[in-house]
Structures are given as structure tokens and as C-alpha cells.
Amino acid sequence: MTIQSKIDPKPNQLSSKNKLSSVLLDYFILIKPSIMLLLLITTVPAMILASEPGTLPNINLILATLLGGVLAAGGAGSVNMYIDRDIDKLMSRTLSRPVPAERVSSKSALILGITMAISAGIWLELSVNTFAAILSVSAFLYYTIIYSLFLKRYTVHNTVLGGVAGAAPPLIGWVAVTGEIGWVGVILFIVVFTWQPAHFWALALGLVEDYKRANIPMLPVVRSESETKGQTLAWSMLTFVVTMGLGIAAELGTLYFTVAIIGGGGFIYVCWQLFNSPGITKAPLVFRYSTIYLAILFAAIALDRIISG
């Protein structure tokens, strides 16, 4: 036996490691990490804004709230993949997901999701407050039952009405600090709620054939491409108005308003380009810009409060 053969791992050891990595990756995909990114982007700035001027929320409270949010959002993503297993098989974008591709059983996805949601409620109750726990579990139930089972499949208003769950993280962050909702908390919720339609319709415009095959009544399927582009522009304008209202209600300063005006104006502009151009060539631009815009807007909320405080 050579020295090299003693050092090199055996083929079955490599195979086991690769298999474990693949399984872990599949379970990571199940909990929809992109949704968790939205959670991180909006929750922490909301918590900073909710704190008394000149102070920051306790780091332990931030971490506890984020962990609870990750558990609730991840659980919702996993249950959603369980519910959508039939339509995911029909759509090219989702065909390779772990459940329709049969790399993870539907039962495992369901058990994982429910376990994470229950854990989120218990964790937030014990480490944050009852109100935050109730809101997180409610957002989970809304997304999995009301949106996934009904809104997504049966109404053209699915994207708008489904936005309730997606807009919950900043409100939960606010409640985690204050213990109550309050007007500023509500407006934070509305900012994300009004932002979502334009963001998701920009993606949906390129997936019309997928949604048709799955019989999902998304706006560009049920109505028309031109109406979807017009609605996208209208919601970008509404988002701009709401961000101005947030700045006034929260008494934010120059930094926030500069970012909100320039960034919001840019959001309207790229949506106008989509509306005013033939086809959907500008849709990817709207999707990318909207993501960056939301991140920068909420970063400006946090920085403005830190600087002014």
C-alpha cells in the first residue's frame, strides 16, 4: 500500500460528504433564503427606528427577534413548497426545487415547516414578547394558508393581498422594541406592502408561460402585459408617497429624505421605462432596482436615526 493511498479519502467517504452537502443544500432551498434576506433588510432598521432617540436596541433583542423571524419565514417557505408541489412540477422555474424533484419528501418539508413555525412562536414568546410572537405566527399562517392555498391559486389579486405576510417583518421589529404597533409601525408595514407588487410583477412578466401551465392567475396572465406594466408604475408611485409619509411621521431627517426622494424617483423612472417600452425588456431592470432600492431605503432609516440621535 502506498503512502498516497493512505492519505486520500476513500471514494465512499467522498460520496457520503457530497451526499450530505446536497441534502443540506436542499433543506436550505426549502426555507427560501431570499425571503430571509427581506427579513434582515427590513427588521433591524425598524427596530432602530423604534428605539428612543440616542439609543440603540439591545443586541440580544435584535438577535432574538431575527432568529424568531428566520424560523417563522423559513417555516413558511418550507410549508409553501409542500403546498405548491403540484404546480411546481409544471413550471420550469420551480421544477428543480427539492420537493417536485423528489430529493426531499413532501412530508419532510411539511414537518420541517411546522416545526420551525412552532419554534418561532415559542422562542419569540420567551425571548422577545407575546405580541411579536403572535404577529410572526400570524404571518406564517397567512402566507401558508390564506396566500398559498387560496389567494395564489384563485384570484388575480394574489400578489397584492399576499403582500400582507411579506410586509410583516418591519412591523414585528417595531413591536419587538415597543411592545405595541403604533402609527409609525403601521407605515413601515405599508412601505413594504406597497413596494411588493411592482417588485414581483416585474418578475412575473417574464414567467407568463410558466403561470399559464400551472393555471396561476397572475396579473399578466389574467389581464394583459400593458395593464401589468401600468399597475407596476402606479404602485411605484404609491410607494414613493408612503415613504414620504414615513419620513414625516417618524420625524426623519435630511439623509432619509434624500435617499427616499432620489431612490423613490429612480423606482418610478425604471417602472416608467418598463411601461413606455415595447415588450418586457426592462422588467429585469425593475426587479433588480427594486431590490436594491428597498435595501438602501431601510439602511437610510437606520442611519438617519443613528446620526440624528
What's the 3-state SS for 59-104? HHHHHHHHHHHHHHHHHHHHHHHHHCHHHHCCCCCCCCCCCCCCCC
Could you tell me if residue 296 is inside a domain? yes
The CATH number of the domain holding residue 252 is 1.10.600
Could you tell me if residue 4 is inside a domain? no
Please tell me the predicted confidence (pLDDT) of residue 33.
Answer: 86
Could you tell me if residue 241 is inside a domain? yes
pTM to 2 decimal places? 0.91
Please tell me the predicted confidence (pLDDT) of residue 309.
Answer: 67
Please tell me the predicted confidence (pLDDT) of residue 184.
Answer: 97
Please tell me the predicted confidence (pLDDT) of residue 161.
Answer: 95
Please tell me the predicted confidence (pLDDT) of residue 10.
Answer: 58
CB 121 within 8 A of CB 139: no
pLDDT tens track for 203-228? 999 999 999 999 999 999 999 999 99
Please tell me the predicted confidence (pLDDT) of residue 1.
Answer: 41
Total domain count for the chain?
A: 1
Question: Distances from the Cα of 134 to the Cαs of 23, 101, 108, 137, 170, in angstroms?
Answer: 32, 34, 25, 5, 14
Please tell me the predicted confidence (pLDDT) of residue 53.
Answer: 84
Whole-number Å distance between alpha carbons of 233 and 75? 32
Taking 50 as the pLDDT cut, the residues of the chain under it are 1-7, 14
Please tell me the predicted confidence (pLDDT) of residue 11.
Answer: 53
Could you tell me if residue 16 is inside a domain? no
Domain that holds residue 102: 23-308
Could you tell me if residue 11 is inside a domain? no
Cβ atoms within 10 Å of 170's Cβ, excluding its own: 30
Could you tell me if residue 301 is inside a domain? yes
Please tell me the predicted confidence (pLDDT) of residue 23.
Answer: 85
